[in-house]
A and B are shown apart, each in its own frame.
Chain A
Amino acid sequence: MNGISDVDVINALRRQMTIAAARQAASAGNLANVDTPNYKAVDVTFADTLDAAQVATNPRHFGSMTNAGQVHTEVAQDAPARRDGNTVVLDQELLKMSRAAGDFSAAQTALAAKFRLVRYAINEGR
């Protein structure tokens, strides 16, 4: 524990929220194009960025990645195309959206608890 603000934890939670929001946006775009011929579904990729960031710094700093905005989208490979060349699967996109909403909600709850602790300390326990 390093002080009351726990920057590492807050950064990690912030990153989780950013990624969940990006997932949500990518799936919304895929859903919007569910009937566009030759549209290829996109997916959010962040694993590479995460690995690169962790190698660059101390591996124990799990929340030290500051460039949480660097979330990329990429055309999903090996997705089977329909006859019109479109690779969007409606139910999978809706599933991804609710999963992202759950992740976001979890991170938000934890972050709110973290902030509550900080406020508790500021108010001297009142």
Chain B
Amino acid sequence: MATLNAAISASASALSAERARIEVAVSNMANAESTRSANGEPYRRRDVVLTSDPVNSFDNALGQASATGVKVADIVVDQSEFQRRYEPSHPDADADGFVALPNVDQSEEMVDMLSAARAYQANLAAISMIRDLVAKALELGRS
């Protein structure tokens, strides 16, 4: 049963990690046109770095089967070039009339969000399968 608890913890950790990915993708899309941020330059897109994280280190130490969870290691700022658009009337335009816009690519964020949503779904399916297993095991003690 300890193994199954570890499995549920692993899937639960994935749910929060995937939710973090969706949150970051959404805030990137929300700020796709933000030309000002706290440090004065346009918004820079964020990226989530995931890393695997053993949930039951005791079983791992024994070399036995154990589930591996996942966690958000870091949220990094994408340092790639800003996009530039010719818009002389914009208050943030430079001397040549170009406005620096965030380095956010809408389609990239959409793809990222979809893949996170699919992974979330898969982990939910995994949790319900494990829950059925636990219920089935508990039936042995009944009647």
**Which residues on A are within 8 Å of B, measured CB to CB?**
17-18, 20-22, 24-37, 39, 42, 44, 69-73, 90, 93-94, 97-98, 101, 104-105, 108, 111-112, 115
Contacts and interface: CB of A to CB of B under 8 A. Distances in A.
Interface of B, secondary structure class, is: helix
Contacts of B49: 37
Contacts of A27: 126
A111 B140 contact: yes
A24 B4 contact: yes
Contacts of A17: 137
Q: Which of A25, A104, A115 counts the most chain B CB atoms within 10 A?
A: A25
A24 B133 contact: yes
A29 B133 CA distance: 16
B14 to A, nearest CB: 3
Given A24-B129, A36-B50, A94-B126, A29 B10 contact: yes
Interface of A, secondary structure class, is: helix
B94 interface: no
A105 B136 contact: yes
A21 B50 contact: no
A29 B50 CA distance: 14
Given A22-B65, A24-B4, A112 B122 contact: no
A36 B10 CA distance: 13
A25 B52 contact: no
Contacts of A44: 65
B83 to A, nearest CB: 25
Given A21-B4, A25-B7, A28-B11, A36 B52 contact: yes
